[in-house]
Structure 1
């Protein structure tokens, strides 16, 4: 898929992603991991699922809830839910996505 195929996201140069087309723009920063809150868990960084808007913690966090969510639901792409970060990651294609200009 060409890097310009996604209206909201472009695939980083040299990468291929079959999931970028039609993804919504990231909806901004989040405050907490929805999965850590009920168990009193700690998180390092937050990721937002672009399929269902679920907010979960990154792989540097003890519980790695974003990856667990992607695996359990087959939702392929998460975006950073951190302030001043504008990128997304496609799990199946291991591709970095950046906002389209």
Structure 2
């Protein structure tokens, strides 16, 4: 078996996925005219210290914290915080639903 490089793995996860879906003309890479979904991860954490290559850090390192996320050009996460919903309210709703389910079992 041949080894896969981290850059090949990243390409398969981005443009390769878009090709499989038949959508390479609109997604899978950062180019003018394509849909603007973009995730930015922090690689300045202790878990990534000493990893010189950011592609290696993303593909082989532990899951880095999400710094920002744009979906179709719209900000969804800023500084690691979801901007489109109240996370505390969602957490409270989940806890309430869980309690109701457990009470009924």
For normalisation by structure 1, the TM-score amounts to 0.25
Greater relative contact order: 1 or 2 (C-alpha under 8 angstroms, separation 6 or more)? Answer: 1
Compare the two structures and name the one with the higher helix fraction. 2
Compare the two structures and name the one with the higher strand fraction. 1
- Greater gyration radius: 2
